[in-house]
Amino acid sequence: MIEIKIPEDKELAAAIGNALVVWAGGNPQPQLELEPQPVPVVEEPVAEEPVAEEPKSIFEEEPPAEEDANGVPFDEEYCLNEIFKGGKKKGQWKRKPGVSQKEFDAYYSQYVEPQPEQEPEVTKIAKKAFEPPAKPEPQPEPEPQPEAEETVPSTCATLMAWVSEKQASGELEQKKVVDAYAQAGLSVRDLFPPSDAKTIAMNAATLYHILQGECKSV
């Protein structure tokens, strides 16, 4: 048995088939002419190119703002469609050419109270440097303190304490103490009982006043 492979080409397959029929003693079949089929065309979507905006002319003015930084409305009669970008008038409308400063200030003051010009900080520092120093306020004189009242010894103990203090400071010598007892006609016993307290106090005061006159300044 002969195995015949039929080609994929239809015309070639038909020619081979007719040849086989003739070889086998049959009548060949007329070849059919195949009309070419149109190839479908697939249209790809074309992406739309963005339309570029035309650049604005440098001479084209932007629509004026309604108000400036101080809340003053735009008025084409007085204001120029420009605002100060810096300086003391930052944020304010510029004055329109042909309008006097007085007229512009009168229009501006309808909405904003005029601010006094502030002195530059450098000028303030310079003025402060040359200012004379402030005069000190007069201080009240201290009130004189009353002298402490003299305490006269009234017992032997207080008299001896005073005498010891004066001797320690060098104001009173021991010889002056002995002389004071002799001058007053007293002895140490007169500063102790059985003398009464009034007598002891009188004797201590007598010795005190004698010794006080004998004290020397150191």
**pLDDT above 70: percentage of residues in the chain:** 60
So what's the pLDDT on residue 58?
47
pLDDT exceeds cutoff 80 at 4: no
So what's the pLDDT on residue 101?
92
Q: Specify the DSSP element, H or E, that contains 182.
A: helix 174-184
Contact 189, 207 (CB under 8 A): no
Q: Give 115's DSSP letter.
A: P
Region 69-92: what's the mean pLDDT? 89
- pTM, entire model: 0.33
Contact 67, 74 (CB under 8 A): yes
Give the number of C-alpha atoms closer than 13 A to the C-alpha of residue 75, restricted to the C-beta side: 15
So what's the pLDDT on residue 54?
61
The dihedral formed by the CA atoms of 202, 208, 210 and 213, expressed in degrees to the nearest 10: -150
Region 123-132: what's the mean pLDDT? 68
d(CA 39, CA 12): 22
d(CA 22, CA 201): 183
d(CA 72, CA 83): 12
- Note the pLDDT tens digit of each residue in 171-214: 888 888 888 888 888 888 888 888 899 998 998 888 888 888 87
Computed over every residue of the chain, the mean pLDDT equals 76
d(CA 200, CA 161): 15
* Both structure tokens of 155: 């017992």
